[in-house]
Amino acid sequence: MENHVINGLFTDLSIIKGVGEQSYNKYCRLLGKERVRIIDLLWHFPNKIVQRNNITKIRDLKGGEIQTVCGKIEKHKKGFRNAPHQFDIYDGTGILNLIYFKLPFYMESKLKVGDTKYISGKVKEIGSKKQIAHPDLMLSYDEFSTQREFEPLYSLTAGLSNKQIIQTIDNIFQFIDKMEPFVDWHSESFLNKNGWKGIIETFRDIHIPNKDYFNATNDENPIRRLAYDEVLINQIKIEHIRRLRMKSNGIVMSSENQIIDKLKSALPFKLSESQNMAISQIYADMSKPNQMIRLLQGDVGSGKTMVSFFSGLKCIFSGYQFALMSPTEILAKQHYENFKKFILGSNIKCCLLTSSTTTDERKDILEKIRNGNVQAIIGTHSLFQENIDIAALAW
């Protein structure tokens, strides 16, 4: 493997120390992937950052929050049968009750009455009683003194603990640090202008946060830097697809718009300036010898459907068919009824195809589509089925 960070990021996670076959399968399940790369786990951001070294007096604990206390184990009530182990912790201001429903033997030997421990976990208030069930941390002074000030909390899956994820990510950065320095794809001046760090340090700040992470402005936030990269990558992908499409031969539509203009003038309302602009841009693309790929975006009720109807008319009056797919049957029926009203008085034939179309109706509709006897096909995802052969679909 080439000793370079950019290649290393796309290496399989199994190369990282501590990630065996079983834990690798758990990471696949956590991230919903058949194969997990190092970059995939780095994009698995913490849900929350907890400040573990901020000690709270027991009397000041608040229910529902993750907090840390320091106190002496005053009492241990052992659990029998299905009863939990219970410990009373005292810090001079109050008593905190700890509960372990299943206490490992090695933990029991570490929790002796009289010992002082640093305990961190989610506090629950039951009346005047304060309780933590299965604390996240139970540490001695020496252990606590080496504990990170800020701990990231991740979404988990069965058999994979937060501690394991933290350790794996630590090992990832150790793996990366042994590689050659990585030159960021953004210029240094651009990063400085936005108050951003390089990509590796950005990931490090998110997974190993410090005070600077919380003091950063919204613009300087490391997640904002990665969000920018994500948008940039998507735009590059779209541009790449667009350029590939430009090399694909499409159908040149007729430039004649007289009939369409008559239908437009017959509408009981005037199209908005934005609708007219969108239609003009779409018509310009359709008159080119390349396939069109275009996203029409607008608020609910802004008139996107009417723009799609006029786009369909351009196909029909150029001698082709057009298909309009809706995400739901209710919406498909609504579009069908509206389109029929829209073309009322013309020779255009329209059909509706959904999963609830009867077998006999379906057979008749498919035959008409195949023979080109209907010009407008409106439906749901049923339009994607292999047995649907649209005779002259404009594409």
Domains and CATH numbers, the chain: 5-49+153-177 (no CATH), 53-147 (2.40.50.140), 188-245 (no CATH), 258-384 (3.40.50.300)
Query: Does the pTM of the predicted model rise above 0.75?
Result: no
Backbone phi, psi, residue 24, to 5°: -60, -45
Strand 150-153 to 48-51 pairing: antiparallel
Q: How far apart are CA 332 and CA 338, in angstroms?
A: 10
**Residue 387: its pLDDT value, please?**
82
- Cα separation, 311 vs 303, in Å, equals 13
Instruction: Kindly give the parts of the chain with pLDDT less than 50.
Output: 1-3
Q: Encode pLDDT of 99-111 as tens digits.
A: 998 887 778 888 8
Burial class (CB in 10 A: 0-12, 13-18, 19+), 180: exposed
- pLDDT of 216: 65
| pLDDT value of residue 288 | 86
CA 355 to chain centre: 30
pLDDT in the model for residue 29: 96
Contact 310, 260 (CB under 8 A): yes
Q: How far apart are CA 298 and CA 315, in angstroms?
A: 22
